[in-house]
Structure 1
């Protein structure tokens, strides 16, 4: 039976999805829900694990008198590390400061880059007076969703041709993940989700808030080799209960930059199928990772070829530079076309109650570029430019660290792919770099390679050498 055909009564799967962080320790797990110690996190977290949940409304109002605000007892939320670092960087007046924390592309001049093809399309749209500002349908701009799905699966994908795959416009990658999580929890009744350890910190917050009861992790990063712990990953997936949702990074894993090789993806797919797990891909960097759209989509396409039903959450923030336009796509692949139609009807209701419908401008930009052969080629040139600069900065950093004789092996800097590098620097070393050199990076040691330039590479390499040599 098709997974998407087994819908549960919505009222039976309504669950509490707003929780309050109980811990404030920034050294705890790499996520901002922060209820658990690192040891607890490795076992997985549940909705009942937190010791200090948000007070019930009657508990809050019971002690409030007429002179006290109803909001007086609200606890402050834990800070989001990356945004706190960006704020600190912006307030820093040191002339040689370097921001390696922000998750966005930067030019050689450390500036944001609006892609030339995006400028061109926006000019075309501005001159088209047949366009208006009417609401989009709940599921978004059809020309965008179909083009985004074709970009992911391939224009001639049998799943698309047969009508077994469809796209839904969402609010970038996070919005796509939230819609997917709500659908999986509320409509399909799934309650356990696994993500890699480590993963993008927002995964946990999104899935717990969407109604998942247990958030667990599978091994991924091998600290000794600075690479993939494929054996540990497969063992943890083997131990996962049936119908667990497995979050997989399609390419350019965030934060490690370590992707499975093709033969390893085949091993992963085999276990996922044997254990009857549900794959959910997070595709935030297609084209941006290697510079090749097809190469970056290989894992997703392989799973589809192996007849998996799956969801894939796409973001166009990085590869189109449309960070603040919030353009995403949720691709749904089902073996049952009738069930797919019913699934879309449920997703329509979820989105209607969440944000009603998505924004138009960015979707028009992406749809125009993807559907016009000349603009499409120009855009592919832009993503190659970004991917090439990232590779150049990776090799430049590694060469300098090796030349300095910095303790340790730095091959992983160039072995990794995409925007981020999991450097292996400790939280103490990261803090030293920030306090002594005004170099801003996450406590996990993750850096954004795009923050490096030919003018600051020597400065950053010497600073890292100093930090590592001291410990």
Structure 2
């Protein structure tokens, strides 16, 4: 009897697993009653439970009662035209003419980022893409898969725990070239929670104009960051209205966080053209190229989440209700930042913690080291990303003192923390 043939896959090397999902799995397996999940970016109530928005629940009820016989039908490859027009206007408002923008529906923000990266890789053919250091880990993976070399611009200064605007500008001034892509977080930078101010955004826009750097905005938290969708879209709208020369740019948009549609994958990708790229023929060509990419990957996007988003955005009453809920969510995040900061200060925890309240959005770059994070996980059952990034949404009035006391214990007794 002959030996078993060698498998084609026997020598396959497993890539690193996604840390956020590994943390989530470990948290769910943990039976410690006071365990705390500060890894996953999912909004929770003060009781630590998921919070479907009331406006979403009302829309779901109406959809169920309507029982539209077409609710399971295929849609066009490019997506639902009504949803896309509403999503476009939610992002851009009146910052630029609608005939400059070509939009397609995507599988949430991750899908929009990937469709966009592949589209630019195949059409613009950039020398490289500039990503902030640090950035959302999936940005790197997505651009690697489309074969575009990655460069990094400074963003976070670990000494000051602040946005490194000077380092960013100096690096791009010295090293960026025409038609390089730069990925920018529209608001609530992930993972640092640090955003440029409006004057800094203006300087970044002027640099992109002068050096002909191509902006790619990731718009994942509009309305969720500050509670004001217009404020959170300021940078995108400012770039879109720039003239002499007008900027061409793209935007990846998600409704996962701001509508709580995490698992329903409602997103869009927008291409903003200028000059002769605004003609009907040019827009049709952009749409055809995007549709071909989508067809080759997943054919069409899910419709349930986009139906909810379309219904909310298409009603002034529901939109007003949604905006009230956005303010409630963002206010709770801000209050949890303040509570964590206040408790660390009250305890006299070594180090400066003011950066926690200076940051914005769901995440905070705490400055905790990997050995500290590992020790917090093993001894206190507090699950934090190895970078020290915490999801503020995982804090509540019942666990914030426990988290602060654990951080205080770690910082006050560094000799107890094993080195990595």
Same fold by TM (over 0.5)?
yes
Separation (CA, whole Å) in 1 of partners of 2:128 and 2:97 = 27
1:131, CA displacement in angstroms? Answer: 4.2
**2:37 is the counterpart of 1:136:** no
Matches within 5 A, 1:271-310: 271-306=207-242, 307-310=246-249
Give yes or no for contact 2:344–2:353 (8 Å, CA) kept in 1.
Answer: yes
**2:135 is the counterpart of 1:196:** no
Q: Structure 1 length as normaliser, TM-score? A: 0.84
- In structure 1, the residue corresponding to 2:135 is in which secondary structure? coil
The equivalent of 1:256 in structure 2 is: 192
The equivalent of 1:469 in structure 2 is: 412
Separation (CA, whole Å) in 1 of partners of 2:80 and 2:216 = 23
**2:378 is the counterpart of 1:440:** no
**2:9 is the counterpart of 1:71:** yes
Separation (CA, whole Å) in 1 of partners of 2:229 and 2:151 = 31
Matches within 5 A, 1:159-308: 159-160=97-98, 163-212=99-148, 214-238=149-173, 239-306=175-242, 307-308=246-247
- In structure 2, the residue corresponding to 1:347 is in which secondary structure? helix
Separation (CA, whole Å) in 1 of partners of 2:225 and 2:68 = 36
1:398, CA displacement in angstroms? Answer: 0.3
1:342, CA displacement in angstroms? Answer: 1.3
- In structure 1, the residue corresponding to 2:26 is in which secondary structure? helix
**2:395 is the counterpart of 1:459:** no
Tell me which of 295, 304, 326 is aligned to 1:383. Answer: 326
Gaps of 5+ in 2: 415-420
1:235, CA displacement in angstroms? Answer: 1.1
**2:310 is the counterpart of 1:356:** no
1:66, CA displacement in angstroms? Answer: 5.5
The equivalent of 1:394 in structure 2 is: 337
Summarize deviations over 1:237-256 as a string: whole Å, max 9, x none.
Answer: 11212211000000000000
1:305, CA displacement in angstroms? Answer: 1.1
1:421, CA displacement in angstroms? Answer: 0.3
Separation (CA, whole Å) in 1 of partners of 2:69 and 2:372 = 53
Separation (CA, whole Å) in 2 of partners of 1:126 and 1:191 = 49
Separation (CA, whole Å) in 2 of partners of 1:399 and 1:444 = 23
1:168, CA displacement in angstroms? Answer: 1.2
Give yes or no for contact 1:110–1:453 (8 Å, CA) kept in 2.
Answer: yes
Q: CA RMSD in A?
A: 1.3
- In structure 1, the residue corresponding to 2:97 is in which secondary structure? helix
**2:263 is the counterpart of 1:324:** yes
1:68, CA displacement in angstroms? Answer: 3.0
- In structure 2, the residue corresponding to 1:319 is in which secondary structure? coil
Tell me which of 69, 91, 97 is aligned to 1:152. Answer: 91
Give yes or no for contact 1:185–1:211 (8 Å, CA) kept in 2.
Answer: yes
Separation (CA, whole Å) in 1 of partners of 2:166 and 2:200 = 10
Separation (CA, whole Å) in 1 of partners of 2:67 and 2:356 = 49
Of 335-344 and 89-98, the range deviating more from structure 2: 335-344
The equivalent of 1:53 in structure 2 is: none
Give yes or no for contact 1:140–1:357 (8 Å, CA) kept in 2.
Answer: yes
Give yes or no for contact 1:237–1:272 (8 Å, CA) kept in 2.
Answer: no
Tell me which of 423, 428, 431 is aligned to 2:374. Answer: 431
Separation (CA, whole Å) in 2 of partners of 1:456 and 1:359 = 36
Tell me which of 22, 28, 32 is aligned to 1:84. Answer: 22
The equivalent of 2:278 in structure 1 is: 337
Give yes or no for contact 1:197–1:221 (8 Å, CA) kept in 2.
Answer: yes
The equivalent of 1:42 in structure 2 is: none
The equivalent of 2:418 in structure 1 is: none
Equivalent pairs, count: 404
Matches within 5 A, 1:45-124: 67-124=5-62
Separation (CA, whole Å) in 1 of partners of 2:410 and 2:306 = 44
Summarize deviations over 1:264-313 as a string: whole Å, max 9, x none.
Answer: 00111111111111000001000000000000000000001113111000
The equivalent of 2:417 in structure 1 is: none
- In structure 2, the residue corresponding to 1:320 is in which secondary structure? coil
Separation (CA, whole Å) in 2 of partners of 1:191 and 1:359 = 33
Give yes or no for contact 2:109–2:252 (8 Å, CA) kept in 1.
Answer: yes
The equivalent of 1:414 in structure 2 is: 357
